[in-house]
Amino acid sequence: MRRVFLLCLFALSSSLHAQKAATPPPTKPPLVSVDIAKLPEGATHLDLWLLCGQSNMKGRGVMPEEPKQDTRIVMMHKMDNQWYLARHPLHLTGDAKTFQGHDNAGVGPGLAFAEVLAAQDKTAVIGLVPCAVGGSSIKLWQKGAKLYEEAIRRAKLALQTTAPVKARIRGVIWLQGEANANPQELPLHAERLRAMIEALRTDLALPELPFIACTIGEMKPAPQLTNLKAMNEIQLALPKSVPHTACVDARDLKTHIGDAVHFDTAAQNEIGKRFAAKAIQIAKP
């Protein structure tokens, strides 16, 4: 009996840990649609930002009970391509009203990023275009590959739908690297990153498009930590080799959702603020 009890206790503990590492976000109330062709009172321009990368950009942090609904921060829904007031999860894949089909997207850095930009420029509307996909390799973000081409499609659609207010693409924020932090992929990563940035700039006709990367979490023990550190050295070196780029250093952030991979809500909000600080530095007025 004691052995059965211990086995049941272990199973319960494992189940709770799994739930902690994959906490689904609250899904109500429905998203609030906006007329993207009209700016709110006091706003004079709309700045678009692409959110690209894998699951830490998509976000897995626990959701707040009440969604923020700032009329100067909007998002392009990942599935229906319509515009709504921005709220977590920015990378929602479920129906905007019923949330049927939603996955485990939660709090990422995008909303905190936008809040800082909106506070810094009271005349701006910040338009977020979520493009990240969990687990994605940088190979899928090369020109011609699925996720790259989808990001370009969404960027051009965002420009098309915001043409009445003459929106502009201000830059890209990028949080990716876990999928390629291995001895086989690391030697190729810097060149793939550079090639992706150059392709984005060419296809969007923005040769000085700001691109801001972020280091991935260094929360796993050795020997995995060695590869994570090597990936971060590549990310941090980016501004030295590619102009109009920057890299957020998040290596000091160690809190996660229970899996030593995905940053928790507090860490994600801090990363968003750091992204914004870099954006203010390198994005032209």
| Residue 2 scores a pLDDT above 70 | no
d(CA 279, CA 249): 14
Q: Please, are residues 9 and 88 in contact by the beta-carbon 8 Å criterion? A: no
Instruction: Give me the mean pLDDT over the 57-66 stretch.
Output: 91
Instruction: Calculate mean pLDDT across residues 102-116.
Output: 94
Q: Indicate whether 63 belongs to any domain.
A: yes
Q: Show Cβ contacts of residue 255 under 8 Å, excluding neighbours closer than 6 positions.
A: 263, 264, 266, 267
β-sheet bridge partners, residue 213: 174, 247
Q: CA-to-CA distance for 280 and 144, rounded, in angstroms? A: 31
Note whether residue 219 is domain-resident: yes
* Distance in angstroms (rounded) separating the CA atoms of residues 83 and 75: 6
What tens digit of pLDDT does each residue of 182-198 get?
A: 999 999 999 999 999 99
Instruction: Please provide residue 61's backbone torsions phi and psi, each rounded to the nearest 5 degrees.
Output: -65, 155
Is the residue at 254 inside a domain? Answer: yes
CATH value at residue 63:
3.40.50.1110
Q: What percent of the chain has pLDDT over 70?
A: 91
| Per-residue model confidence (pLDDT) at position 209 | 98
Question: What does pLDDT average to over the chain?
Answer: 91
The residues, ordered by sequence, that sit 6+ positions from 275 with a Cβ below 8 Å of its Cβ are: 109, 113, 173, 212, 214, 248
User: What is the DSSP-derived secondary structure letter of residue 39?
Assistant: P
Q: Is 20 within a domain? A: no
Q: Please give the Cα distance from 133 to 12 (Å, whole number).
A: 30
Cα(204)–Cα(134) distance, rounded to whole angstroms?
24
Q: Is the pTM of this model over 0.75?
A: yes
Write out the residue range of the structural domain in which residue 90 sits: 31-282
In a domain, 5, yes or no: no
pLDDT of residue 65: 84
- Structural domains of the chain, count: 1
Segment 21-47 shows an average pLDDT of 84
Give the burial string for 17-50 (b: 16+ CB within 10 Å, else e).
Answer: eeeebebebbeeeebeebebeebeeebeebbbbb
**Rounded mean pLDDT, 89-116:** 92
**In this predicted structure, what is the pLDDT of residue 125?**
98
In a domain, residue 136? The reply is yes
